[in-house]
Structure 1
Amino acid sequence: MMRFSGITPSGHTQLGNYLGAISRWAADGGAEDLYFVSDLHAMTTTHNPAGLRGRATEMLAVLIASGIPAERVFVQSDLARELGALTWILECTCSYGEAARMIQFKEKAKGQAGVRLSLLTYPVLMAADILLQGASDVPVGEDQRQHVELARALARRFNSTYGEVFTVPRAVLPHAGARVRDLADPTRKMSKSTRDSAGVVFVLDEPELVRRKFRKAVTDGESVPAYQPEERPGVANLLEILAVCTGTTPPEVAGQYRSYGALKDAAADAVIETLRPVRERTLELLDDQEELTRIRKAGAARAAERGEHRLSSALRLIGAG
């Protein structure tokens, strides 16, 4: 079994990314697993090139600082040549109808003028990411499950038409825990690309900034904390965050606090301590660009070597190599 997953630098890494995915990658990852910074996926809409480059570098540092072994991490654009070739092969295997029926494309393209072609085709690039590395398991959220199904369909079609090259992957939905909501608007999930970051806790936020964000967290008109996710989402969000950080459960946590102020302070303290080693190590790596560059180049070389035989076999079988 080889798990493969990525994170897109559409914004700075936030608490939900860390608790919901990155910390699990570090804790549960196997020797064959790979994790990557999917910077090419952040180019489907208008972006600032320098900003994208900086966020990709920062995100790579966060992954390593979180405890993921450096040999299991790489940056997607460092394999641009390999992925470009395989994406074209898969686009020649995919139908327009398959790409156009992707729910994310329909939602993001709705009512927009000048939608980029890459918004339509990026699920094929995602399939290339997965198939190049021979991934068997792809941990994704429900919103990306359809894209993994496309990768499965393309792998099967290529294998049956031209010859066996690709492992047929499967989507693995993450554990239901650690669903972190925006502190300012608990009806939406915490997102690194949210324009209003008042309710978003970023991994590199200073401790006092984290504390201020928690103290301003939206709760409700009640006075005593209770875990009722549907009726009281703001309080439930605080309890879930605190429970994940302390290794307990939300109902257990709820019984320990008699006021919202105490709960907010406890949640802030737990988050600050959880993120402290990650933040400190990330800043150390960002201060040592030579070491970070070395790690990045080594990761790219390993990922490229790992996928080389699949790409060369696919090119040969399709008549292009």
Structure 2
Amino acid sequence: MGNKKRVLTGDRPTGPLHLGHYVGTLANRVRLQDQYEVFLLIADYHALTTRPEKADILASREYIREIVLDYLAVGIDPEKTTIYLQSDVPEVCELTLLFSMLVTLPRVERIPTLKDMIRDQKIENPSMGLMLYPILQAADILHVKAEIVPVGKDQESHVELCREIARRFNSLYGEVFPEPEALIGDVPTLPGIDGRAKMSKSLGNAIFLSDPPEEVARKVMQMFTDPTRIRPDIPADPDAPHNVVFRYHEAFNDDKAEVEELKARYRQGKVGDVEVKRRLIAALERFLAPIRERRAYYAARPQLIDEILAAGAAKVRPISQATLAEAREAMGLSARRLAELKAQLP
């Protein structure tokens, strides 16, 4: 594995994962684990930036287990992918502090997603932790010396800041860190079942990977179609962006001939929304049934989750400790280096 490039990616433990996560990141992670040395971070420190209340922290502990179950259920293999908890690697905190000395506040304030988060959540007085979040993210990436970071287009600015931090550190103290590349996923955003632009737990418009069959069916029957089509004999465009049912058929129906047949009948006004939805329910069941089966297997063995996270921390911590020691040495902060510097003083 040593000659494979390192990848770092992760999730905040703020809720279970849904079909939007599968399309956006999870399917890609399953592919990446055969090509790269992948580190998969559950970012519980990042969750504190907007949810520091005790109740939220306790809830996140349960979400951590749910997220690991989702990872395993979709095919992420802990033998190939190192799954670990951010707070199990305290060296990241010291590296964040060291990096924060190299970045100005105005530079952090220019991060578009940070501005969006403050606006969308109506945060009048952002905490220092929230402002540090892009720097903590850089420490997450660089403590394992990751070379590739899979991100959506909206997160590209975070990787650019990370590259700037690595560059500045290296120019001040010597070559320690790689300048990681953003791997921009070319995947469409899965709309919510209500037709909104994005599926999201907070908007209540998500189908979760852990939803039972009856819940999936209930949500599909609520799903947004074409509001101008009040009868099934009215021709309509199945490719219209707002026609959510067909967007899900395209993403999850493995019977492509069926999708094309439904589209053709929809254009001719020869199929009703109920039939299109029932066919989607069947397609989603074909997709989700094996995921549910794997999830149930691991859920019945809770000690495996603890073992996977413990093994992940045991692998990551020595890497992180070595990186931090190297950074401290380069900066002149280690005892040995300080002794050398004192010996050179007049």
Match of 1:69 in 2: 77
Tell me the TM-score normalized by structure 2: 0.83
Number of residue pairs aligned between Structure 1 and Structure 2: 312
1:78 and 1:300 in contact (8 A); partners too: no
Give the superposition deviation at 1:120: 0.8
Q: How does 1:108-119 map to 2 (within 5 A)?
A: 108-110=117-119, 111-119=122-130
One-letter identity of the residue aligned with 1:240: R
Task: Verify: 1:205 aligned to 2:218, yes or no.
Answer: no
CA contact (8 A) 1:165 1:314 kept: yes
Distance 1:76 1:59 in 2: 11
Q: Which residue of 2 aligns with 1:84?
A: 93
Correspondence list, 1:297-312, <5 A: 297-312=310-325
Aligned twin of 2:9: 5
Aligned-partner SS, 1:255: helix
The whole-number CA distance in structure 2 between the counterparts of 1:21 and 1:31 is 15
- Residues 276-315 of structure 1 mapped to structure 2, 5 A cutoff: 276-315=289-328
Q: 1:130 to 1:225 in 2, by over 3 A?
A: farther
Report whether the alignment pairs 1:238 with 2:249.
Answer: no
How big is the shift at 1:73?
Answer: 3.2
Partner of 2:220: 214
Summarize deviations over 1:152-184 as a string: whole Å, max 9, x none: 11011111111111111111111234x211111
Letter in 2 for 1:226: D
Change beyond 3 A, Cα 1:73–1:291: same
Deviation string, structure 1 residues 195-226 (Cα, Å, up to 9, x no partner): xx2x3101111111100100011112224563
Change (3 A) 1:308 1:260: same
How far apart are residue 188 of structure 1 and its match?
2.3
Tell me how far apart the structure 1 counterparts of residues 20 and 47 of structure 2 sit (CA, whole Å): 18
Residue 106 to residue 210, structure 1, CA distance change in 2 (3 Å)? same
Q: How far off its partner does 1:270 sit?
A: 1.7
Consecutive unaligned residues of structure 2, counting only runs of 5 or more, are 335-346
The residue aligned with 1:265 is 278
- 2:61 pairs, out of 53, 59, 62, with 53
User: Is the contact made by 1:39 and 1:75 (CA closer than 8 Å) also made in structure 2?
Assistant: no
In the superposition, relative to structure 1, how do residues 225 and 291 fare at CA in structure 2: closer, same or farther (>3 Å)? farther
Question: Could you tell me how far apart the structure 2 residues matched to 1:167 and 1:250 are?
Answer: 48
| 1:181 and 2:187 correspond | no
Does the CA-based 8 Å contact 1:74-1:296 persist in structure 2?
yes
Query: If you compute each CA radius of gyration, which structure gives the higher value, 1 or 2?
Result: 2
Question: 1:18 — aligned with what?
Answer: 22
Shift of the 92–79 alpha-carbon distance from structure 1 to 2, 3 Å rule, reads farther
Higher mean C-alpha deviation, range 69-78 or range 287-296: 69-78
What is the rounded CA distance, in whole Å, between the counterparts of 2:332 and 2:292 in structure 1? 49
Deviation of residue 251 (structure 1)? 7.5
Equivalence for 1:106: 115
Distance 1:27 1:143 in 2: 22
Distance 1:42 1:249 in 2: 43
**Residues 225, 28 of structure 1: alpha-carbon distance in 2 compared, 3 angstrom cutoff:** farther
Match of 2:344 in 1: none
In structure 1, what is the Cα distance between the partners aligned to 2:78 and 2:325?
A: 26
Give CA deviations for 1:48-86 in whole Å, capped at 9, x if unaligned. 122111101110121122111114132333434111111
Per the TM alignment, residue 149 of structure 1 is displaced from its structure 2 partner at its CA by 0.7
The 1:61–1:73 alpha-carbon spacing in structure 2 relative to 1, beyond 3 Å, is farther
Q: After TM superposition, give the deviation of residue 280 of structure 1 in Å.
A: 2.7
Gaps of 5+ in 1: none
- Mapped to 1, the partners of 2:123 and 2:174 lie a distance apart of 40
Percent identity over the alignment? 29
Aligned counterpart for 1:125 among listed residues 124, 136, 139: 136
Distance 1:297 1:219, change over 3 A: same
Deviation at 1:135, TM superposition (A): 1.5
Q: TM-score, normalised by structure 1?
A: 0.89
